[in-house]
Chains A and B, each alone.
Chain A
Amino acid sequence: MITRFITEVTTRFNPFSVRAKSARLFLAFLPADARSGGMKITTKLLPRTSAEPSALHVKFKDGKEMNLDVENMGIKSVVEEVDRHSRILQKQADLDA
């Protein structure tokens, strides 16, 4: 996953729900130095009884915001969605350089 262009990640999930998998795996995909590299990561854990859907909100360097439906998406599709925009940014960065 290309994480260079992500500036902010906000997640919310109930770990006892089976549908929290994608959100949790997305957090595990972020590199070890993500926070020190300036990425803002906020996680909110919902209580066990809560039926609130899990959510993933990603902000990019160019200001684009993505609200991903992690409840019904697998981690592969989530990464694909995020990478689709990251690749555009990467292309631009390569042309500018």
Chain B
Amino acid sequence: MPPRLRCPAACGFSSAISPSRIPLRSAVLLWSSAPKAPTPAGRYASSQAASPNLLGLPDGYVPPTKPPTARPSDTRKAQLLRTYTSLLRSTPLILLFQHNNLTAVEWAAVRRELNVALSKVPVSSGDGDDVAPNIHLGVIRTRIFDVALKLVEFYDPSTVAPTETTTARGAKTTVVYNHDLSKSAFDAVKAVTSGETPIPESSAYAQLAPLLVGPVGILTFPSVSPAHLAAALSILSPSPPAFPAPTRRKSPGYYDPIAQSGLQKLMLIGGRVEGKVFDVDGVKWVGGIEGGLEGLRAQLVAMLQSAGLGLTVALEGAGKSLWLTMESRRSVLEEAEKGPAEEAPAAETSTADAPAEGEKKE
């Protein structure tokens, strides 16, 4: 946890000890040659140790480990924001829960049961075996999480223009300050919050924002693993027949009254899978994918194959039916051609015979 006390050293050495920012009395004490008199407050203790004469840092020097920030970077909020942005960028599968006054022992029981269920999931070759230990259930600060969501969605660090700074040796260089606590990130979020930048309805932020109300906890998965998701759902939000709760015989700890009362107070409200927002049914659909991503690929291949087969049959069918029609027509025509030809000689003979007969009669 970062220190909660702010000290001027955090803003950069040179700005902290620049004479303009120090009151006259302190400045006299600070720049006096004899360091015998202690500074009036502990506030300048560190500044005195880092006097410019000792360090020899030029004006406008910004330490590379302490880039300038829009708001104090050493507060708990600021570090929490950094945690959430990195979480949102790196975690493909997040489930959101509402937790209604769970006690500490209930949280412990819920986590224990969750870990037991996750450790029982058979490890597939593709996922590696580090999925289960990296699935975490935790409580979030919703307002900061909201800001982090905005930052991830509406702030593009690649568009930030470089700034000119001085190195420790006094040379001029250009550096891009586009981290999540930078001025540009702050401005981007502020523009969204104030309504300057419109929030599109289809954005993940617009869809997730109504969920971030009241006490919210998140379950984070390091990869989209439907098997692990199904195991977690069967514990945290059981819904037979797809995600049945474990039986009393297999995991008696699940039916422990403390665990049960904790689970009753946890309520699945939605999820974010690969940047897309899903409701409870959607999350259950993801959990129900057989065989994970491989299974989904196999399904797709099968579908495409059957579609291809259908297409060839359909295309072939048109030609075939045309051929059949033409063929039948040809046979009909042939027959028609052949028929009169065969009948005609017979008629001729009859007509030829008739007068003959007539003649005979005459």
Contact = CB atoms under 8 A, between A and B. Distances in A.
Interface stretch (B98-106, B193-201, B327-335): B98-106
A15 to B, nearest CB: 4
Nearest to B280: A45
Contacts of B265: 32, 35
B278 to A, nearest CB: 8
Contact of B279 (A16, A18, A43): A16
A61 to B, nearest CB: 21
B213 A21 contact: yes
B9 interface: no
Interface residues of B, number: 23
Interface string A17-44: 1101100110110111011100001010
Given A28-B98, A30-B101, A35-B261, A18 B214 contact: no
A48 interface: yes
Interface of A: 15-18, 20-21, 24-25, 27-28, 30-32, 34-36, 41, 43, 45, 47-48
A43 B267 contact: yes
Interface string B198-240: 0000000001001101110000000000000000000000000
B256 interface: no
Interface of B: 98, 100-103, 106, 207, 210-211, 213-215, 261, 264-265, 267-270, 279-282
A34 B270 CA distance: 25
Nearest to A49: B279
A35 B101 CA distance: 11
Contacts of B270: 15-16, 48
A24 B213 contact: yes
Of residues A20, A43, A48, which shows the largest number of chain B Cβ atoms within 10 Å of its Cβ? A48
Given A35-B261, A35-B264, A47-B280, A15 B210 contact: yes
Given A15-B279, A31-B101, A32-B101, 17 more contacts: A15-B210, A15-B211, A16-B270, A16-B279, A18-B210, A20-B210, A21-B213, A24-B214, A25-B213, A25-B214, A28-B98, A30-B101, A32-B106, A35-B265, A36-B261, A45-B269, A48-B279
